[in-house]
Amino acid sequence: MIAKKLHVPLALATTALAAVALAGCSTGGSGGGDDAASGTYTWWDPYPQHEEGSDWANRVQACGDEAGVTIERTAYDTTALTNQALLAAQENNSPDVILLDNPAVSTLAETGMVSTVEELGLDVSDIDENLLAAGELDGETYGIPIGANTLALYYNADILSAAGVDPASITDWDSLDAALAKVNDTGKRGITFSALNTEEGTFQFLPWFWGAGADLTELNSSEAVEALNLWKGWLDKGYAPNSVITNSQNTVWEEFLTGEFAFAENGTWQVNSAADAGFETGVITLPAKDGGAAPAPTGGEFVIAPVQSDTARYDVTRKIIECMTTPEGFVETANTFAYYIPPTADGQDALLEEHPELDTWVSAVQAAKGRTSDNLGTDYPKISEQLWTAVQSALSGAEDPQAALDAAQDAAATETDGN
């Protein structure tokens, strides 16, 4: 798929994970104190860049208007939002609605401060299961995704053409390796990605890890070692630069825009930039080892409802959330935050009617996976840290991939008490 520019605002990717814990649970408290059927309802989200009067702020208020209430919106950055939510629960002063980065949902849910969708009477039967799973813990569902962004493989069409590579031929690891070898023979660089020693590094490694069939509960499996050997092999052969060890996702993109790299692993949030590049670009799904689209991790937020002592407020809260999560609402969110792919089939079809050029991204989201899926909950950040540490160790040459992942598994098992 060749990239085209959409005339909608660029959204920021939300891949940072707040790993914090709350000592004890809270019954919560109302964010307003007005009559439950009217008055003011409080809403928190991680979009401080969208000020009062912006399309997003107006969209939030419109859902309040539809529910017959005024919404008082407060915006924090992603990490601060999680911390503020935990603090508010301790002080029995939680807002009515929070829009929260999806890996942090289980962090809040484990404290008992979040209402389940069943308690609120919300229907989530149409939500794609792979996206909803990021908000599931111990058999309960805590909130609804408003959309998702994820990763894919951007390519420089000029470089691939010169190397005699058809991007449609890249369907698995072997065909990608063959393409990188051909590019290398032309004197261009093959691929760039982020292996940074932060959550960004794990975020970018997971498609290869999961695409090999590995599981986050067994970091040193043979499949995990295969994935790390793949990345290490690219560095050893010169297909990828040593800078990947310190690359952020933004740095990866800056490298790609130099026109020297055939491929860059990056997200939906770069679609407009790709269309404005000084060369023809396209995008394919990240390939799994033996073919098909690899599960890439999901970014994006869930809309959740903290527990309130005044349960009469839930009726209006449900109406606000339902307004945000209709098929039309999902598409409106996608257009407000460029490239948030709707989490339902109806929403995805409606988006593609407006923007058929996003078909690869819809496919990538359909194959994606939440980082806290598999009931990992608050164990995920502990596991993730050990995984990115192992990747750093192997790519720097400090340890071979097997040894690095053995150490990671031992440390993760200790951190999570073997769970």
Mean pLDDT (the chain) is 90
- With a pLDDT cut of 90, the percent of the chain lying above it is 84
Does 10 fall in a domain? no
The residues pairing with 151 across neighbouring beta strands, listed in sequence order, are 267
Structure tokens at 12: 């920021």
Q: Are 115 and 61 in contact (CB under 8 A)?
A: no
| Residue 361 and residue 395 in one domain | no
Indicate whether 191 and 275 sit together in one domain.
yes
Reported pTM? 0.88
* Domain co-membership, 178 together with 230: yes
Tens digits of per-residue pLDDT, 199-227? Answer: 999 999 999 999 999 999 999 999 999 99
User: Is 1 inside any structural domain?
Assistant: no
Q: For residue 17, is it within any domain? A: no
Q: Are 200 and 400 in contact (CB under 8 A)?
A: no
Determine the 3-state secondary structure of 262 from DSSP: strand
Mean pLDDT within 156-163: 98
CA distance 12 to 312: 35
pLDDT band (50, 70, 90) for residue 339: confident
* Distance from C-alpha of 180 to C-alpha of 192, rounded to nearest angstrom: 11
Please check whether residues 124 and 60 belong to one and the same domain: yes
Pair 118, 215 in one domain: no
pLDDT at 38: 75
Residues 268, 180 within the same domain: yes
| Residue 62 shares a structural domain with residue 81 | yes
Same domain, 102 and 238: no
Query: C-alpha dihedral over 197, 202, 205, 210, to 10 degrees?
Result: 150
Name the one residue in this structure whose structure tokens are 């992942």: 405
CATH number (domain holding residue 136): 3.40.190.10
Q: Is residue 9 part of a domain?
A: no
Residues 139 and 215 occupy one common structural domain: no
Q: Verify that 133 and 275 share a domain, yes or no.
A: no
In-domain check, residue 362: yes
When pLDDT is averaged across residues 267-278 and rounded to a whole number, the result is: 94
Q: Is 371 contained in some domain?
A: no
pLDDT score for 205: 98
Q: For 181-204, write each residue's pLDDT tens digit.
A: 999 999 999 999 999 999 999 999
Structural domain span for residue 61: 40-149+299-366
**Mean pLDDT of all residues in 306-320:** 95
Write out the two tokens for 254: 């800056």
Report the C-alpha gap between 322 and 328 in whole angstroms: 11
Residue among 194, 164, 192, 193 nearest 179 (CA): 164
Tell how strand 140-141 and strand 144-145 pair up. Answer: unpaired
pLDDT tens by residue, 133-151: 999 999 999 999 999 999 9
- Name residue 302's beta-bridge partners: 100, 145
Decide if 122 is inside a domain: yes
Q: What is the pLDDT of residue 28?
A: 39
Q: Domain total for the chain?
A: 2
Domain assignment present for residue 28? The answer is no
* Of 305, 321, 330, 315, the residue nearest 63 (C-alpha): 321
Encoded tokens for 64: 């309040």
Residues 309 and 350 in one domain: yes
Are 185 and 205 in the same domain? yes
Assign 2 to helix, strand or coil: strand
Which of 21-25, 122-126, 158-162 is the least confident region?
Answer: 21-25
Q: What is the pLDDT of residue 5?
A: 44
Residue 137, H or E segment: strand 136-137
Sheet containing 144-145: which strands, arranged edge to edge? 70-75, 40-45, 97-101, 301-304, 144-145
